[in-house]
Amino acid sequence: MVKFSIGTIIPENEGWVWSTESIGEAKPRQIFLKLAGANGVIDMSRVATGRLLYDDRTISVTFARFKRKPDNWMDDVQSLANKIIQAFELAPNNELTITTKGNPSMAYTAHAWNYSVSRDGIIQFITMNFTVKPANYYTYEKRAIIGHEQIELLQSEADNATMKITIRDVHVYDYDMTEVSKTVLIYDDDGVLVASGTPSYFQANPFVVDMESDLYLQFTIDVSDLVGWTVDLRFVKEEI
């Protein structure tokens, strides 16, 4: 069962019951300029970058739990809040990944949050509002194993802003699934070698595939110096 998560914190695993959630739309950052000598306005929104930018969105989620005793009823709320505060403080760039129940295939990057608390009889509620970056992220993993070494990259998996797929997260495993550093060879559908390197090489020199004119592209994977192997290619798609 998919659960709402804040980094590694899952409120449902701590006695809270998911109640509601809402995901706000990313608002376009529109800039209009009025000129004294022209009618109407001029849209300047795309001047700086050549494309429309967006402002942050908000994700709100409410959890509930039963608390029969009126004494110390805020303890559970404070415990959860303290964990989230600490997680933000310790996270790189003070950002946490949010995964929702309503859109479990997407991930959002939160950089700020606040919460409010209420009580209705024996039920207590905590509502959390997360400020997240405008884009969400789909994560894909393509697995190739010896004997079934072909993979397909789909245009629908490309980043909408660039129509490219960028693969830098490469993992190689030997026959007993121990991760190793071996050279991965990637061939296109015509058998031409288009990329090769160890996992650390791909981190520094990602394999970038332009999907603008193709609905799908097929590649063949091989690994040097291994009889049995598995290769995982992982990438994310950013989408507003």
Domain end position, chosen among 135, 165, 194: 135
pLDDT tens, residue by residue, 116-162 = 999 888 899 999 999 999 877 888 999 999 989 999 999 999 987 78
Q: Is residue 213 part of a domain?
A: yes
- What range does the domain containing 160 cover? 146-239
Cβ burial of 60 (10 Å; 0-12, 13-18, 19+) is middle
Instruction: Tell me, yes or no, whether 111 and 45 share the same domain.
Output: yes
Tokens of 8: 């590694």
pLDDT tens, residue by residue, 86-118 = 999 999 999 999 999 988 878 899 999 999 999
Cβ burial of 16 (10 Å; 0-12, 13-18, 19+) is buried
Instruction: Tell me, yes or no, whether 20 and 125 share the same domain.
Output: yes
Instruction: Tell me, yes or no, whether 29 and 125 share the same domain.
Output: yes
Instruction: Tell me, yes or no, whether 11 and 98 share the same domain.
Output: yes
Instruction: Tell me, yes or no, whether 193 and 83 share the same domain.
Output: no
Using left for φ > 0, alpha for ψ between -120 and 50, and beta otherwise, residue 177 falls in: left
**Contact call for residues 9 and 92 (beta carbons, < 8 A):** no
**Residue 160, CA distances (Å) to 108, 125, 202, 210, 238 in order:** 16, 38, 22, 11, 7
Question: Which DSSP state fits 1?
Answer: -
User: How far is the C-alpha of 132 from the C-alpha of 234, rounded, in Å?
Assistant: 23
pLDDT of residue 70: 65
Q: Which alpha helices (H) appear in the chain, and where do they start and end?
A: 75-90, 199-204
Domain count, the chain: 2
68-72, 106-110, 204-208, 236-240: which has the highest mean pLDDT? 204-208
Instruction: Tell me, yes or no, whether 9 and 121 share the same domain.
Output: yes
pLDDT at 5 over 90: yes
